[in-house]
Amino acid sequence: MDENVLLAVVVVVVIGFVLLRKNKATVSTVSEQVAIQPNLANGESGVARYLQKQQAASGVGALSGVEKYLQEKEALAVQEAESSAVSRVAQYLESKEQSAPVSRVSKYVARKSINDKKIAKENISGVAKYLNRRG
């Protein structure tokens, strides 16, 4: 008889354990659903709420880093285009003022002196070449 009572107590404990376990699983599932439902009640996802918080923290309409970079790049391109057009014209005018026109006579004299030097190098005697190499 003691064995039957002991067996009955063990069975009651096991059944109670199983029932409590199922009840906890049901309670946690219900609590998870309740936690999810308020987020979906206003139609916002977690990403939308995150973005709203970020905008609120940084100010409404704040530019991202990429947008700032693109605006700066565009401003630099416009500024460079304006400055390069002016500076190239100025450089052209300056070069025109500095350079003196070269006459045909001065070109002829320069070519003749170069040719004379080449001819003088080629017409050196053997003794002169020897002495030039010897130093």
Tens-digit pLDDT profile for residues 5-54: 888 888 988 898 888 887 665 655 555 555 555 555 577 888 888 888 88
Domain that holds residue 126: 102-135
As a whole number, mean pLDDT of residues 82-111 equals 80
Q: How many angstroms separate the CA atoms of 87 and 92, rounded?
A: 9
Work out the mean pLDDT of the chain and round it to a whole number: 79
pTM, rounded to two decimals: 0.24
Q: Name the nearest CA neighbour of 6 among 131, 14, 23.
A: 14
Question: In the prediction, which pLDDT does 109 show?
Answer: 93
As for how many domains the chain has, the answer is: 3
Same domain, 4 and 54: yes
Residue type, 10: V
Same domain, 57 and 2: yes
Q: HSE-up of 23 (CA within 13 Å, CB side)?
A: 6
Same domain, 92 and 107: no
